[in-house]
């Protein structure tokens, strides 16, 4: 079982949950992280609800932009996936939080849109 760092006693419980995998550099292991635990992203999600004014397409584009700003191509949000057992001709692939969310983009936006009043 992977540790869940979003259950930290030092932060308040985020209103929604969308878990991804990241590396905890201090513990040198992969951990589960709730992206709504990121204060800046959560604040911008709340702002997107207000700016979208009931338009799902506008909302989705604002959220995509916020995801890119906070989680796209930043080493602190990347992990390297590789095959097991490792192969000499496969170095692995970097995947960041943005990529993980985009794998389920339609479900993510539907979840966020449906629960926007909880933000």
Residues in CB range of 47: below 8 A, 6 or more apart = 62
Residues in CB range of 18: below 8 A, 6 or more apart = 34, 35, 36, 101, 108, 111, 112
SS3 9: coil
Tell whether 85 is covered by a domain: yes
The phi and psi torsions of 71 (rounded to 5 degrees) equal -125, 0
Question: pLDDT tens-digit profile of 55-108?
Answer: 999 999 999 999 999 999 999 999 999 888 888 888 889 999 999 999 999 999
- DSSP-assigned letters across all residues of 14-73: PSS--EEEEEETTTTEEEEEEGGGSHHHHHHHHHHHHHHTT-HHHHHHHHHHHHHHHHSS
Tell whether 77 is covered by a domain: yes
Tell whether 54 is covered by a domain: yes
Average pLDDT in the 1-12 region?
60
Tell whether 26 is covered by a domain: no
Alpha-carbon distance of 44 to 47, in angstroms, equals 5
Number of domains observed in the structure of the chain: 1
Mean per-residue pLDDT of the chain: 91
Residue 5 has pLDDT above 70, yes or no: no
Tell whether 109 is covered by a domain: yes
Q: What pLDDT is attached to residue 9? A: 47
Parent domain of 81: 38-118
Tell whether 95 is covered by a domain: yes
Tell whether 56 is covered by a domain: yes
Alpha-carbon distance of 21 to 2, in angstroms, equals 9
Tell whether 8 is covered by a domain: no
| pTM for this entry | 0.86
């Amino acid at each position: 079982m992977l540790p869940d760092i979003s259950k930290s006693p030092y932060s308040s419980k985020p209103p929604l949950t969308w878990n991804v995998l990241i590396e905890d550099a201090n513990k040198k292991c992969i951990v589960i992280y709730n992206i709504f635990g990121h204060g800046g992203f959560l604040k911008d999600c709340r702002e997107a609800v207000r700016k979208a004014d009931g338009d799902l397409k506008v909302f989705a584009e604002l959220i995509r932009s916020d995801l890119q700003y906070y989680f796209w191509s930043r080493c602190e949000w990347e992990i390297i996936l590789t095959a097991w057992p490792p192969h000499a001709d496969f170095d692995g692939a970097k995947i960041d939080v943005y990529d993980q969310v985009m794998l389920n983009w339609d479900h993510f936006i539907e979840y966020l849109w449906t629960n926007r009043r909880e933000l």
